[in-house]
Homo-oligomer: A and B are copies of this chain.
Amino acid sequence: MLSVDEAFACLREHVRPLPVEEVALEGACGLQLARAICSQDDSPPFDKSMVDGYAFSTHDTAPTLRVIEQVTAGQVPHHAVEPGTTIRVMTGAPLPDGADAVVKWEDAQRLDDATIRSPQVIATEHATARRNESGVPIESGYCVLPRGAAFQTGQQVLSSGRHLRPVDIGLLAEIGRFQVPVIPRPRVAVLPTGNELVEGEGPLAAGQIRNSNGPMLLAALRQLGMITIDLGIGRDNLEDLRTRIEMGLDADVLLISGGVSAGVLDLVPDVLESLGVRQVLHKVKMKPGKPLWFGVRDSGPRRVLVFGLPGNPVSTFVAFHLFVRPALGTLAGAPFAAPTPRVGQLLGPVEHRGKRPSYHPCRVSGERRAESRERKREGGEKLAVEPLAWQSSADLATLARADGLALLPAGNYQLEAGQKVDVLPL
């Protein structure tokens, strides 16, 4: 039986990022970019007016400028700006040939609907009269964003390895990249097993319980951004398990709950073996979660990971949090990172019995207080840990009240309030 750390090492060795795929841009947010992206266009693709106003030549010496055209964004000027003329442009419109600046609509002096005074001439008059500081002629390039100002054709705009954010998605759309090379979102199939499980709202017959692992795992996977595949409930017979597990092996990861202990109906390991899934580990020295099973199936470069999780919901959750979650992170491109415990301080006593270390649901408090104290340098970064009384590894109600798992080492002992304890925040 492996220790928890040995199980982490085992996963670290066997889990690697999924092969790179081109995926549609709209599904790429959050994924890791697998190659650097260079632009195939200049941005902006043309000299562009940044304001509503009049495009003109700053070298034009004519006292008035005749408005010969109006160009909105998305249109193309039909005329060039010649001496004595100007073209009305809207924000985002291309700068007409012959113009090198734009005077803002609110700064322009309109003589009539079709004529404005030359901004340069106005500036000269102001300068002569020393009336105010606006007596500076407009410079070439004023209110114009030149073609390629943001980036140019061939320039790298996103580096390989980054996790795509919404702004990156916008940038990729701007340069026309609607398929992007990424480490894809893992597809994860979920198969709770057990003849005692029922689905739906109806009353329970004797001996039945409702399937809680399936909905819990699917929700946790969706929260992590995985693509989920619900395989229904597997029954404790070889044929049904084989059919469903075969379907599950089309995914990148198959999570099975139940059927991995040593009872007469714990058929899952045999079925997996018969389908070519190689066992990598079975049983981990921990409580809850001991019956954990992990194996892989390779078909050429494709590797499917299979986790057999214990059937009890709390055990399933703890095993998911400790082992499955970091493995999913690695599939998506991150280095394998086992959950890191933090140091806590017990608010009440807790008793431990048994030869396996335990992960005990607890409430973690004082984190924010502790942080603000830190900031004030008044000391104390420890989390306050309140162990919760829980009934068994089937007790989801207590786990729902928990926001941490206290790590209690193997042995028979009692820890008192105030003693240190490692804790995994959930």
Contacts and interface: CB of A to CB of B under 8 A. Distances in A.
Given A72-B263, A165-B400, A178-B201, A173 B215 contact: yes
Nearest to A220: B166
A202 interface: yes
A332 to B, nearest CB: 15
A372 to B, nearest CB: 11
Given A213-B170, A223-B166, A262-B52, A202 B176 contact: yes
Interface stretch (A90-98, A134-142, A413-421): A90-98
A75 B235 CA distance: 13
B209 A92 contact: yes
Nearest to A199: B173
Interface in A245-277: 261-265
A149 interface: yes
B176 A392 contact: no
A391 interface: yes
Nearest to A39: B397
Nearest to A73: B196
A208 interface: yes
Interface in A201-243: 201-202, 204, 206-220, 222-223, 236
A45 to B, nearest CB: 5
A44 B311 CA distance: 14
Contacts of A345: none
Interface in A89-123: 90-94, 105
A69 interface: no
B150 A391 contact: yes
Nearest to A313: B170
Contact of A157 (B43, B169, B397): B397
A91 B311 CA distance: 9
Contacts of A73: 194-196, 207, 265
A74 interface: yes
Contacts of A200: 176, 178
A26 B218 contact: yes
Contacts of A178: 200-201
A394 interface: yes
B74 A207 contact: yes
B72 A219 contact: no
Contacts of A204: 41, 45
Nearest to A224: B166
Nearest to A205: B76
Contact of A399 (B167, B212, B391): B167
Contact of A170 (B158, B206, B379, B396): B396
A83 B414 CA distance: 39
Contact of A207 (B75, B157, B207, B214): B75
A202 to B, nearest CB: 7
A170 B317 contact: yes
Contact of A46 (B157, B207, B317, B379): B207
A215 B151 contact: no
B207 A397 contact: no
A150 B398 contact: yes
A97 to B, nearest CB: 12
A145 B72 contact: no
Nearest to A156: B397
Nearest to A377: B377
A94 B208 CA distance: 9
Given A145-B392, A170-B219, A178-B201, 6 more contacts: A52-B261, A73-B207, A150-B398, A167-B317, A178-B200, A377-B377
Interface of A: 25-26, 29-30, 41, 43-46, 48, 50, 52, 70, 72-76, 90-94, 105, 145, 149-151, 157-158, 165-178, 194-197, 200-202, 204, 206-220, 222-223, 236, 261-265, 311, 313, 317, 374-375, 377, 379, 381, 391-392, 394-400, 402
8 contacts: A44-B394, A91-B263, A150-B394, A157-B397, A168-B400, A171-B396, A173-B212, A176-B202
